[in-house]
Amino acid sequence: MKLTRRDMLKTGIAATATGMFAFTSSAFAAFKDIPACLQLYSIGGVGDDPPMRMAKLAAMGYKGVEYAGFGGYSAKELRKFQDDAGLFCNGSHTGRDGIENLDNLKNTLDFHKELGAKFIICPGMGNDGIDGWKKAGESFAKAAEVAKSYGIYVGYHAHQPDFDIIDEKNNLSSWEIFADASGNDVMLQIDLGHCVNKGADPYALIEKYPGRSKTTHIKESDGKIIGEGRVDWIRALTLLESVGGAETYTIEYEADLDRMEAVRLDLEAFNHIRKINS
């Protein structure tokens, strides 16, 4: 019998790649009280009425937001919207030119400092081969040195092609080549849904780069609501908190349900998973 999301929330059971996984509080350490944020791309950005949109998210139980564009608003305006709603800024997805170009980086850092952000994450790069990914890693390492004085991290966000093996001799993906070249101060914002959908191993990658998963995209596989797909959430969260250095979780939804309803359901399911192992 196929379980619905409601069934799973009632019984504490979720589907994983290996079948049905029963959540048991004795099997793993209790999860930490790490704030859950929303990647605003999930609901179309800040929208025409950011105060109303942020108030709705806060009412759902979200603690913070991650931007994907700023809607033409100043950092001061956005900070007021956040503060009025009782939300904090986890960070943003910002184009690589705002990170790698050191002349632009100061403006990027000043803007994010005003927002109260801790993470500036590049959402995608089209690098050319092994050397291109190595050079990108090296340039992000330089940016990370500058950002450190602001108390801000820079990093890179994973999409499915980032898990393709491009160094066949060493069996390395572009994600790993970038990670190895960039150093420990550059964050690796793994997207669990993208990773699982590609057939890669997110759990091994979190373990491979300890302390570099301070920010993570919480997304289910196959366009589903959290707990209904193939991500092993207990395993992922246990590794993120024990090895990855998790400080925030950022939920993102990109599939076909009504977006506001989907992000509400995602947060409800995610909090349930964490609660039953507390």
* 154-182 residue pLDDT tens: 999 999 999 999 999 999 999 999 999 99
CB 32 within 8 A of CB 246: yes
Residue 248 bridge partners (DSSP): 215
Among positive and negative, which fits the CA dihedral 32, 34, 38, 39? negative
Determine the average pLDDT of the residues in 3-26. Answer: 38
Q: Is residue 257 part of a domain?
A: yes
What CATH number is associated with residue 227?
Answer: 3.20.20.150
Residue at 223 is within a domain: yes
Residue 212 belongs to domain spanning: 34-275
pLDDT at 3: 35
Specify if 7 maps to a domain: no
Q: How confident is the model at residue 126 (pLDDT cuts 50, 70, 90)?
A: confident
pLDDT value at position 278?
62
Kindly tell me if the per-residue pLDDT of 251 is higher than 90.
yes
Question: Which has more pLDDT, 21 or 176?
Answer: 176
Domain count, the chain: 1
User: Is 129 a member of any domain?
Assistant: yes
Instruction: Specify if 245 maps to a domain.
Output: yes
CA distance 237 to 100: 31
Give the rounded distance of the alpha carbon of 258 from its chain centre.
Answer: 21
Give strand ranges (E) for the chain: 13-16, 19-22, 36-39, 64-67, 88-93, 119-122, 153-157, 165-167, 172-173, 187-189, 215-218, 248-251
Neighbouring C-beta atoms of residue 59, cutoff 10 Å: 11
Rounded Cα gap, residues 155 and 143, in angstroms: 10
Distance of CA 62 to CAs 36, 55, 202, 228, 250, Å? 6, 10, 25, 21, 10
Residue 5 in domain: no
Predicted pLDDT at 127: 84
Query: C-alpha dihedral over 100, 103, 108, 113, to 10 degrees?
Result: 120
Does residue 25 form part of some domain? no
Residue 218, SS3 per DSSP: strand
